[in-house]
């Protein structure tokens, strides 16, 4: 998991009336027009400019741009969460536009000054005022087509000391804009968390006339709001939205909020018989697959005996996704696989997911095979061992193939050994053939 070196730095003040927020003065056009006219003078080639960046913006002077909990790696990777191990140095923005036939075809944003010293741009505008640059790039996001429209948003939102909610809210509601551009606008409304963002995102999520993917992105924006400002809204939507699909999306984004109240709500919903079974399944999945805590793992294991067959299967999968530093989940799965009181289907699923889990040591899997007695389970143990990469798993398969009392287990072990490219296995199989 990637961890950010930047802390959340924006806190929402008393909410404003959304109408008042969006009625703020429109962006200045004069300065932006100056940039626009200078860019328009280049029919074919590249134009570069430097823009003062917000505090906390960082990059590697090439493909990486980071801000708070968002990391963008050109050309297509965007992630939100904690991150580390990335060469991300604070600096100002360096934006390069490529033009063909007078049309802007690509917009790339770098952080750092190294690109400038090596630049072969057709025109270099030097350092431009942040507010004017933000106005210009927001105007591009509002009218360009294709990827350039989406990529125009990044330099606008990262420019120093600018407010972008009014412009981004218009873009996010504009059905004529590419969906990727609208999604990007909504994402940054949440990330920036300006006054009025919470109210706007709530309204967008509730707007039944909007496509579901736009409404879902509003939920994403709520999850991204600084300091857990959107969690109460997500809880309300996940619990009680009249739209079933929106409730399911609310559950997912509630699990992304990284907030104690969000996790408590998910655990309450997972254990409640008042929540429809399919939605409880979504909750159980979310608890296991999205940054599960130790408390989540304990809860899921305790919930197992109190649920239906279908939900038990969901719990098995979710427990397997737990913290790789804690082997309690893996051992619980192996104990479940060995429990003869459980249905064989669930036992085999528990064994499979134990083998897939980084919580489960290969030593524990080998011990599990040694105590298995039922032929179905022994054969499944052989398959599970074949999916592991450790040499000890291969050693155990060779031991089974050579020495096990169960001929079917020996046959299965030989089959799965034949699927590997381990040179030790090739030598072993030759020896087995010669002995025959």
- For the chain, the average pLDDT equals 90
Phi, psi of 321, rounded to the nearest 5 degrees: -90, 5
360-401 residue pLDDT tens:
999 999 999 999 999 999 999 999 999 999 999 999 999 999
Confidence of residue 83 (pLDDT cuts 50, 70, 90): confident
How remote is the C-alpha of 158 from its chain's centroid?
21
- As a whole number of Å, the CA-based R_g of the chain is 28
Confidence of residue 19 (pLDDT cuts 50, 70, 90): very low
On the CB side of 355, how many CA atoms lie within 13 Å of its CA?
23
**From CA 21, how far away is CA 5, in angstroms rounded?**
31
**Higher-scoring residue by pLDDT: 116, 210:** 210
Question: For residue 323, is pLDDT > 80?
Answer: no
Question: For residue 103, is pLDDT > 90?
Answer: yes
User: What confidence score (pLDDT) does residue 6 get?
Assistant: 34
Confidence of residue 358 (pLDDT cuts 50, 70, 90): confident
How distant, in Å, are the alpha carbons of 283, 311, 333, 360, 361 from that of 322? 15, 17, 12, 11, 14
User: What confidence score (pLDDT) does residue 434 get?
Assistant: 76
User: What confidence score (pLDDT) does residue 234 get?
Assistant: 99
User: What confidence score (pLDDT) does residue 436 get?
Assistant: 61
Instruction: Tell me the sheet residues that pair with 59.
Output: 65, 89
Q: Would you say 365 and 355 are in contact if contact means Cβ atoms under 8 Å apart? A: yes
Question: For residue 33, is pLDDT > 60?
Answer: no
2-17 residue pLDDT tens:
433 333 333 333 344 4
Residue 226: DSSP 8-state: G
Confidence of residue 100 (pLDDT cuts 50, 70, 90): very high
Tell me if residue 339 falls in helix, strand or coil: coil
Question: For residue 25, is pLDDT > 80?
Answer: no
Mean pLDDT of 330-356: 97
159-214 residue pLDDT tens:
999 999 999 999 999 999 999 999 999 999 999 999 999 999 999 999 999 999 99
Question: For residue 404, is pLDDT > 50?
Answer: yes
Question: For residue 31, is pLDDT > 60?
Answer: no
Mean pLDDT of 52-65: 96
Residue 15: DSSP 8-state: P
User: What confidence score (pLDDT) does residue 81 get?
Assistant: 83
Question: For residue 99, is pLDDT > 60?
Answer: yes
User: What confidence score (pLDDT) does residue 32 get?
Assistant: 57
DSSP H or E segment with residue 153 = helix 153-158
Tell me if residue 110 falls in helix, strand or coil: strand
Domain coordinates of the chain in residue numbers?
1-7+25-161, 162-258, 370-436
Mean pLDDT of 290-301: 91
Confidence of residue 431 (pLDDT cuts 50, 70, 90): confident
**Strand 58-59 vs strand 93-100: parallel, antiparallel, or unpaired?**
unpaired
User: What confidence score (pLDDT) does residue 71 get?
Assistant: 95
Residue 361's closest CA among 317, 336, 393?
A: 393
Mean pLDDT of 265-283: 97
Which alpha helices (H) appear in 75-206, and where do they start and end?
A: 114-117, 130-143, 146-151, 153-158, 165-173, 179-192, 197-206
Tell me if residue 275 falls in helix, strand or coil: coil
Q: Tokens representing 174?
A: 């504009």
Burial 169-186 (b: 16+ CB within 10 A, else e): bebbbeeebbeebbbbbb
Mean pLDDT of 120-147: 95
**From CA 318, how far away is CA 338, in angstroms rounded?**
19
Mean pLDDT of 282-298: 92
At which residue do the structure tokens 């739209």 appear? Answer: 243
Q: Would you say 50 and 127 are in contact if contact means Cβ atoms under 8 Å apart? A: yes
Q: Would you say 315 and 304 are in contact if contact means Cβ atoms under 8 Å apart? A: yes
At which residue do the structure tokens 């134990």 appear? Answer: 354
Other residues' Cβ atoms within 10 Å of the Cβ of residue 39: 18
**From CA 260, how far away is CA 136, in angstroms rounded?**
40
Cα end-to-end distance, the chain, whole Å: 50
Q: Would you say 176 and 144 are in contact if contact means Cβ atoms under 8 Å apart? A: no
**From CA 274, how far away is CA 12, in angstroms rounded?**
34
DSSP H or E segment with residue 18 = helix 18-22
- The percent helix, strand, coil of the chain (3-state, each to 5) is 55, 10, 30
Other residues' Cβ atoms within 10 Å of the Cβ of residue 113: 12
Question: For residue 407, is pLDDT > 70?
Answer: yes
Mean pLDDT of 221-231: 97
Residues in the chain: 436
At which residue do the structure tokens 């860019």 appear? Answer: 39
User: With the C-alpha atoms ordered 159, 162, 163, 168, is the resulting torsion angle positive or negative?
Assistant: negative
Angle formed by the axes of helices 231-240 and 244-255, nearest 10°: 140
User: What confidence score (pLDDT) does residue 258 get?
Assistant: 85
Q: Would you say 322 and 359 are in contact if contact means Cβ atoms under 8 Å apart? A: yes
Mean pLDDT of 418-426: 91
CATH classification of 162-258 is 1.10.10, yes or no? no
């Amino acid at each position: 998991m990637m961890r950010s070196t930047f802390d959340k730095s924006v806190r929402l003040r008393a909410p404003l009336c959304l109408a008042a927020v969006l009625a703020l003065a429109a962006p200045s056009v004069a300065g932006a027009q100056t940039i626009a006219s200078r860019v328009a003078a280049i029919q074919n080639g590249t134009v570069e400019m430097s823009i003062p960046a917000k505090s906390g913006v960082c990059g590697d002077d090439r493909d990486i741009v980071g801000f708070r909990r968002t990391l963008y790696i050109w050309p297509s990777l965007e992630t939100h969460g904690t991150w580390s191990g990335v060469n991300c140095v604070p600096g100002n923005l360096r934006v390069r536009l490529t033009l063909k036939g007078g049309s802007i075809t690509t917009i790339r944003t770098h952080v750092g000054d190294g690109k400038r010293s090596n630049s072969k741009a057709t025109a270099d505008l030097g350092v431009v005022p942040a507010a004017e640059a933000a106005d210009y790039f927001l105007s591009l996001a509002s009218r360009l087509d294709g990827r350039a429209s989406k990529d125009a948003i990044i330099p606008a939102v990262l420019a120093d000391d600018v407010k972008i909610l009014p412009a981004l809210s218009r873009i996010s509601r504009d059905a004529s804009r590419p969906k990727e551009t609208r999604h990007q606008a909504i994402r940054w409304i949440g990330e920036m968390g300006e006054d009025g963002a919470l109210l706007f995102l709530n309204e967008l999520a509730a707007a039944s006339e909007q496509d579901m993917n736009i409404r879902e992105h509003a939920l994403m924006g709520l999850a991204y709001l600084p300091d857990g400002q959107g969690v109460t809204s997500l809880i309300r939507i996940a619990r009680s939205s009249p739209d079933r699909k929106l409730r399911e999306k609310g559950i997912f984004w509630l699990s992304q909020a990284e907030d104690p109240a969000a996790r408590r709500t998910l655990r309450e919903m997972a254990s409640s018989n008042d929540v429809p079974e399919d939605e409880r399944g979504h909750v159980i999945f979310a608890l296991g697959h999205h940054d599960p805590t130790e408390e989540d793992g304990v809860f899921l294991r305790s919930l197992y005996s109190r649920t239906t067959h279908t939900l038990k299967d969901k719990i098995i999968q979710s427990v397997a996704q737990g913290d790789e530093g804690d082997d309690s989940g893996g051992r619980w799965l192996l104990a479940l696989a060995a429990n003869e009181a459980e249905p064989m289907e669930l036992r085999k699923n528990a064994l499979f997911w134990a083998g897939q889990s980084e919580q489960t040591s290969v030593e524990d899997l080998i011990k599990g095979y040694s105590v298995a007695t039922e032929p179905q389970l022994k054969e499944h143990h052989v398959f599970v061992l074949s999916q592991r990469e450790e040499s000890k798993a291969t050693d155990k398969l060779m031991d089974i193939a050579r020495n096990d009392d169960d001929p079917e287990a020996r046959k299965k072990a030989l089959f799965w050994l034949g699927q590997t490219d381990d040179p030790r296995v090739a030598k072993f199989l030759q020896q087995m053939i010669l002995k025959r």
